Amino acid sequence: MGKWVYSFGDGKAEGQSSMRNLLGGKGANLAEMSNLGLPVPPGFTITTEVCTAYYDNAQTYPAELKAEVAAALEAVGKLTGRGFGDPKNPLLVSVRSGARASMPGMMDTVLNLGLNDVTVEALAEGAGDPRFAYDSYRRFITMYSNVVLGVEHHAFEEALEHYKDEKGVSLDTELGADDWKHLVGRYKAIVKAEHGSDFPQGAEDQLWGAIGAVFDSWMIPRAKKYRELNNIPESWGTAVNVQAMVFGNMGDTSATGVAFTRNPSTGERALYGEFLINAQGEDVVAGIRTPQDITEKARLEAKSDKPSMERAMPDSYAELVRIYGLLETHYRDMQDMEFTIESGKLWMLQTRNGKRTAKAALRIAVDLAAEGLITQEEAIGRIEPAALDQLLHPTIDPKAERKVIASGLPASPGAATGEIVFNSEDAEAARKAERKCILVRIETSPEDIHGMHASEGILTTRGGMTSHAAVVARGMGKPCVSGCGTVRVDYKAGTLSVAGTVLKAGDKITIDGSTGQVLLGEVAMLEPSLSGEFATLMGWADAVRTMKVRTNADTPTDARAARNFGAEGIGLCRTEHMFFEGDRIVAVREMILADDAEGRRSALAKILPYQRQDFAELFTIMSGLPVTIRLLDPPLHEFLPHTDEEVRDVATSMGVSEDKLRRRMTELHEFNPMLGFRGCRLAIAFPEIAEMQARAIFEAAVQAAEETGEPVTPEVMVPLVFTKMEFDIVKARIDAMAKAVSEESGSTIAYQVGTMIELPRAALRAGDIAETAEFFSFGTNDLTQTALGISRDDAATFLGAYTQKGILSADPFISIDQEGVGELVRIGVERGRAVRPDIKLGICGEHGGDPASIGFCQDVGLDYVSCSPYRVPIARLAAAQAALAARDTKKA
């Protein structure tokens, strides 16, 4: 028989922090804090294995669980001197979820469990405060009814607001004991009407209802969505934490709060957070009341007239400072802590590694290394590579005119412009229509997760720096302005009103999450500059990685951006992208319409100067770094017009008949162009195309070398080969052009010719191809399509179902299918190197910027990855982490 329940409290625990897979993050850290001797209310954790068993056995519990829970409850009662369900001296508990990975706001919580019509009187008598007791009871009815019984939260909120209107008050704190007692009656009537039965009075029934609700919440839509967005496996399950209640709503000597040991937005080493006097935990994060600052410095910066915790509760503040220092040193990372002060005594309810922005993560990692808490290599591992994307987004140009219409709290840095939407459904619709939007809400809740993901940024009228909107936005890397109290949102009318300005859905606003400003209309943005901690950490990363990081770039703008981000060359230049500009497209169409090779050569001669200049610019920008140029790849029909109107315009401008143009379009039409007349097949059928491009490359190399004084060694890539003979035919034309240009210019041209491995047969015959190919670049976009038989353009209709059902672990166009496509890459690497040991190997598909795929590239021994310019920093860090992981595996 396994153990299902682990107890903690009174300076000891049955668990510890290393048991997070079993106890969940919250349970493991509660146990650890207990073992450290910190003031933690006693309780117990029901393990994640119970959650797994619950779903494996038709939502039933293990037979031994009930007895283990009863024994653990009795132990808590002995530590607190109370009895669960005791009518005269009741033990009240909280019931919280706690998954292995932090899922803020995703899972349901119940506080004050154990209250009923009898125990509420005992609580009032024991505390000498009926108001506190009935306030706690009404909170319990609200939470339990919503979480367990399915009664909508707004039903209780409306009853409360109506009652406050009747009494002529605006704040909850203005209501007395009799008011809360009256509202308890109203709340129970709501439960009866909505649920069809009375609110449960038995403490044990309440407990098991809440435990079941936590396990059930693991599978609710918002939890599933969060797991999908954060790659959390469903199989992990959640634990349940049952803990003796401590009360922050027992008057002016009680409080509740959330604190970070460092600023989660900037990384500054300073206690950061919010608290509320005479409140319970949900009040802080729900945005129902505007919280107060913990430190006096923060209060002054916020220009708040409400006292800080440092001034209002100096003893508790001093204890919190002591504990935060102990916890950060112990965990060697920034901590996110929840605490309650009951009648002047501080209790710790949770600690966990705090979520933070990428900017803060960089500063914290570098600072912790400088402080000696972690090593430089550990600092490299502390940064999620994909999170660097947060640093690569625009900020508002300081020279731009700012029409500020409102100001709130700077909850998540960065800036965004978009049209106003008032709900998550409209946000998703806007994204599907490729329209940028700002989600505007009074306050967000976990149900808004999909809308927050779809939007460019979030604006709320309520809530603080640790509200749901703030925490989730920071985790997503999206700008957020919260607590913008001067803004009035009318969902029914679909309007946002502030200081006489009325905006409607669809109107554009800009939010600045770094200052908390809301601006009218679209505002000019600046590209980010990377320095400071970013440069320090990337320097450490570059020192340990073994793979080079190149970029996919077709334009000088992309190439310069990539160099600024640390690219070590170009791994893929798609020459066809250059053909669509200005007069070039006319010459390309002339070439396509030509009746013979002479006509094609005549048209290509017009394109040659453009191509030469394009390549010369890229070689110059890369200044001696390798540049891989792929010969023309897409089918020729992509360059022809498509609509009748375009056909008429093109025919007129080129001086050809519409009939000739249409005949050529018909000849080039393909049922499956992706597998049609493209790639090296074009170079074999029309060798003059490859000759023109090769000449442009080599002439550009000579020109750039003369102008910069740097050696230029172009890498010419032949696309879509599946036999050695195809490659050799095209390579012969390339070699002939290199010889011709060398003789004409009097220069020696160093170059390499290789191929893109993007067809399964090419991977299987890589040994043959490597006899003459000097490098391979794995084109995993097409290799994925051809290996899996999936069209990337059409896969969206079913890939979601495949990942949800576990058929595929991830979208194979985002993260490489290591078992299938990866096996083909592995075969290509092994067979290519067996024939040519020094062959250069890289990857240039979208996978070159995906951290998980980069780890695979390290495992199979590639020399470099190539990705889009704005993914280069991500790839540099991911490559460093992959190198460290490979080294550690080798040591083990």
Residues marked active site are found at 468, 844
DSSP class of residue 774 equals: S
3-state secondary structure of 476: helix
Question: In this structure, are strands 457-460 and 495-498 parallel, antiparallel, or unpaired?
Answer: unpaired
3-state secondary structure of 372: coil
- Length reported for the chain: 892
In the block, residue with structure tokens 């409850």: 73
Residue type present at position 675: L
Q: DSSP labels for 116-145?
A: -TTHHHHHHHHHT-HHHHHHHHHHHHHHHH
> 727 vs 19, 35, 460, 734, 770, CA distance in Å?
56, 67, 59, 10, 10
Burial class (CB in 10 A: 0-12, 13-18, 19+), 150: exposed
Nearest to 441 by CA among 497, 489, 374: 489
Q: Which two tokens stand for residue 705?
A: 């070398």
Question: In this structure, are strands 508-512 and 335-342 parallel, antiparallel, or unpaired?
Answer: unpaired
How many whole angstroms separate alpha carbon 239 and alpha carbon 438?
35
Mark out the alpha helices in 269-357 (DSSP H runs): 281-286, 296-302, 309-312, 314-331
Beta strands in 380-430 (DSSP E): 395-396, 404-407, 409-412, 415-421
The whole-angstrom distance between residue 384's C-alpha and the CA centroid of its chain comes to 9
3-state secondary structure of 441: strand
Do 113 and 95 touch, CB atoms closer than 8 A? yes
Q: Which two tokens stand for residue 248?
A: 């922050």
Do 655 and 590 touch, CB atoms closer than 8 A? no
Q: DSSP labels for 656-719?
A: --HHHHHHHHHHH--S-GGGSS-THHHHHH-HHHHHHHHHHHHHHHHHHHHHH-S---EEEEE-
Nearest to 509 by CA among 434, 468, 455, 446: 455
Do 73 and 242 touch, CB atoms closer than 8 A? yes
Do 443 and 468 touch, CB atoms closer than 8 A? yes
With residue 437 as reference, give the H or E element that holds it: strand 437-441
Q: Which two tokens stand for residue 116?
A: 């009923």
Q: Residue 476's CB: how many other CB atoms inside 10 A? A: 20
Residue type present at position 48: T
Q: Residue 400's CB: how many other CB atoms inside 10 A? A: 14
Among positive and negative, which fits the CA dihedral 759, 731, 605, 574?
positive
Greatest pairwise CA separation for the chain in angstroms: 103
CA dihedral 227, 883, 825, 870 (to 10 degrees): 60
With residue 798 as reference, give the H or E element that holds it: helix 796-804
Do 843 and 866 touch, CB atoms closer than 8 A? yes
At a CB cut-off of 8 Å and minimum separation 6, what does 870 contact? 389, 392, 561, 565
Beta strands in 51-173 (DSSP E): 93-99, 110-113
Do 542 and 880 touch, CB atoms closer than 8 A? yes
Q: Which two tokens stand for residue 765?
A: 């015959």
SS3 content of the chain, % helix, strand, coil (to 5): 50, 15, 35
